[in-house]
Structure 1
Amino acid sequence: MPAPLKLMVATDFSERSDRALRRATLIAREVEAELSLIHVVDEDQPRRIVEAERNNALAILHEQVSTLREMDGVSCMSRVVIGTVFGGIVQATREESPAVLIIGPHRRQELRDLFMGTTAERTIREVSCPVLMTNGPPVAPYRKCVLTTDCSDGSRRALGAADSLGIAPGAISSLMYVFDAPVLRLAMSYTLSEHEKTDYLDDERREAMRHLVEFAAKLSIKQPTLIVRQDKSTPASEILAAAEEQSSDLIVVGTRGASGFTRLLLGSVAEEVLRRARCDVLAVPPGSLG
């Protein structure tokens, strides 16, 4: 019998973290997963304060675990890690190897984010497992999911990993590809008539759909709705617009591989989606599940 799915929830006991915990509980009940609650106490404080915060955190976690077990029927454990918020979460994922790390919504502090990046983005860059950012209200299991792709092998591996998690078993899936129309970006594009522009876009759209159909045939995902959209601003903006139009409650986006220089980068599309999405986002490294 296969081991149950392990979901790790990083919590600082804030309202944002409560949202992550509620979503994790919904998933755990639906797919019979185990929860692991992680709280990090900042080590850069006097020892007596660290110990006091650790003891307080243990008491809160004990109460949360008891509630989850008794009221929700969810298998659950917890631990406190001493370190930096970023480093403590990464350490916990390395030691426990969860299938998914679940975190609260992105805290938008634009000036700080611009120069330092958020804890969420730093964590997603470093951990090897998928990360679920819970932006939307966790009131029901996922109903509609947008799967994004650039039709690359890395994207195929990421979507395969996401599908194998099974965290949205009843959701209706759409597979989306954003295509470029480079001729229309050229300085000389004004020389084209409206009819020529329409014909050109139709050709590009048909070619994009052909690529998407071929890509979808290699996936194990059952009969997703195929969507192609022209990149009129940024790919992330098109993804977010499509998610809004379809009332999707989950977006799945692949990140760049975690090796060499690319380890420092999320990829502009994934980063923009994570920062701006109103619904939940599952960020999946290409090799996260093997």
Structure 2
Amino acid sequence: MLVDRGRARRRRGRMQRILVATDFSARSDRALRRASLLAKQRGGEVVLVHVVDDDQPERLARAEREASLGLLGDLARTLREADGVDARADVVLGDPFDAIVRAIETHGADVAAIGAHRRRLLRDVFLGTTAERVVRESRRPVLVVNALPTAAYRSVLVAVDLGGASQRLLESFDRLGLAERAAVSAAHVFEAPAAPRLARAAIPGSEIAGYVSEEEQRAAHALGALLGACAFPADHKLLRRNEGSVGDTLCAMARDADADLVVVGTQARKGLAGFLLGSVAHAVLRACDRDVLAIPLRDDTA
């Protein structure tokens, strides 16, 4: 449901350096293309990173590193000469996900772009993939590129749960400046927990609908208050009742809104080295056919 509309001038963000982790696959090529478009739009820099597995004889690792540097150098040169984007290359040794996370920090990347995980015909396994582990461990935003990039993002859906972490998510996303040319929707999936019980009790449908409407209005008020508290310039506020999985509902909302980017948050917890990839973020990253930006949110109480 569309409950409000408005546009405000977005602040120019600070995203200037985008790291692209590539294994030279077609999926990585999509991440590289999206990074090039973003860097050109922002006047930023692209850092190309390839990981060479160090669990092999030193001579082979050295030969692979030299060959990879040559390939990355060619890609960087193409970005500079054909796209007008500043680019440089780096090859690192180690386990793929661990080396990528270290490279993100070493190069001070504002955003890391990676290709989507490989989807299989009969099952879709995201947990444990390099993409999932990078998203979970990175302390900087990670953009998982699913779609073939053709232009700047036109429509962005930011998933919020109305808690304190959502304000940090909105503020962090706004600072990146990824949506200066896009329509932005703040999306919330609300619950109507008593509805099934009322239905089992044979309560008239009109009364159940009234109860659901009241829950929706409460959610709309809370969403408006959240956006106002952080002065987030949303063009649309989207609400939808959860009748199954919140993650799947968000994916459906993204399709209905024709969003080409979905933004979710991952939350740090005290005592853990990395970030928790909650069920909602995991479901969106696993199932969404749009690009997904995962923003780590530090817990101020941690």
Question: Is the shorter-chain TM-score for this pair beyond 0.5, marking a shared fold?
Answer: yes
1:75 to 59, 62, 86: 86
Contact 2:31 2:144 in 1 (8 A): yes
Deviates more, 1:256-265 or 1:71-80: 256-265
SS in 1 for 2:297: coil
Which residue is equivalent to 1:150?
161
Which residue is equivalent to 1:173?
184
Identify unmatched segments of 5+ residues in structure 1. Answer: none
TM-score (norm 1): 0.93
Alpha-carbon distance between aligned partners in 2 of 1:106 and 1:219, rounded to the nearest angstrom: 33
Contact 1:4 1:32 in 2 (8 A): no
Which residue is equivalent to 1:270?
281
Contact 2:48 2:88 in 1 (8 A): yes
Contact 1:26 1:140 in 2 (8 A): yes
1:254 to 252, 255, 265: 265
Deviates more, 1:168-177 or 1:18-27: 168-177
Deviation, 1:3, is 7.7
Alpha-carbon distance between aligned partners in 2 of 1:284 and 1:57, rounded to the nearest angstrom: 29
2:17 to 2, 6, 17: 6
Alpha-carbon distance between aligned partners in 2 of 1:268 and 1:76, rounded to the nearest angstrom: 36
Would the alpha carbon gap of residues 87 and 43 (structure 1) be closer, same or farther in structure 2, given more than 3 Å must change? same
Contact 1:160 1:219 in 2 (8 A): yes
Deviation, 1:286, is 1.5
Deviation, 1:235, is 0.9
Which residue is equivalent to 1:102?
113
Which residue is equivalent to 2:76?
65
Aligned length: 286
Residues 23-69 of structure 1, C-alpha deviation per residue, up to 9 Å, x if partnerless?
00000111111111110001111222211111110000110111111
Alpha-carbon distance between aligned partners in 1 of 2:242 and 2:77, rounded to the nearest angstrom: 49
Alpha-carbon distance between aligned partners in 2 of 1:138 and 1:188, rounded to the nearest angstrom: 45
> Is 1:209 paired with 2:220?
yes
Would the alpha carbon gap of residues 4 and 225 (structure 1) be closer, same or farther in structure 2, given more than 3 Å must change? closer
Instruction: Spell out the pairing of 1:1-290 with structure 2 (5 A cutoff).
Output: 5-108=16-119, 113=125, 117-186=128-197, 189-257=200-268, 259-261=270-272, 263=274, 265-287=276-298
Contact 1:106 1:274 in 2 (8 A): no
Would the alpha carbon gap of residues 229 and 28 (structure 1) be closer, same or farther in structure 2, given more than 3 Å must change? same
Would the alpha carbon gap of residues 34 and 40 (structure 1) be closer, same or farther in structure 2, given more than 3 Å must change? same
Alpha-carbon distance between aligned partners in 2 of 1:32 and 1:257, rounded to the nearest angstrom: 31
Identify unmatched segments of 5+ residues in structure 2. Answer: 1-12
Alpha-carbon distance between aligned partners in 1 of 2:147 and 2:44, rounded to the nearest angstrom: 21
Deviation, 1:167, is 1.9
Deviation, 1:219, is 2.6
Residues 55-87 of structure 1, C-alpha deviation per residue, up to 9 Å, x if partnerless?
110000110111111111111111000001011
Would the alpha carbon gap of residues 236 and 111 (structure 1) be closer, same or farther in structure 2, given more than 3 Å must change? closer
Deviation, 1:89, is 0.3
Alpha-carbon distance between aligned partners in 2 of 1:14 and 1:95, rounded to the nearest angstrom: 24
Contact 1:258 1:285 in 2 (8 A): no
Alpha-carbon distance between aligned partners in 2 of 1:30 and 1:48, rounded to the nearest angstrom: 41
Deviation, 1:260, is 2.4
Contact 2:50 2:68 in 1 (8 A): yes
Deviates more, 1:183-192 or 1:279-288: 183-192
Would the alpha carbon gap of residues 111 and 93 (structure 1) be closer, same or farther in structure 2, given more than 3 Å must change? same
Would the alpha carbon gap of residues 83 and 127 (structure 1) be closer, same or farther in structure 2, given more than 3 Å must change? same
Deviation, 1:6, is 0.6
Higher normalized helix content (fraction of residues): 1
Deviation, 1:189, is 3.5
Alpha-carbon distance between aligned partners in 2 of 1:129 and 1:263, rounded to the nearest angstrom: 11
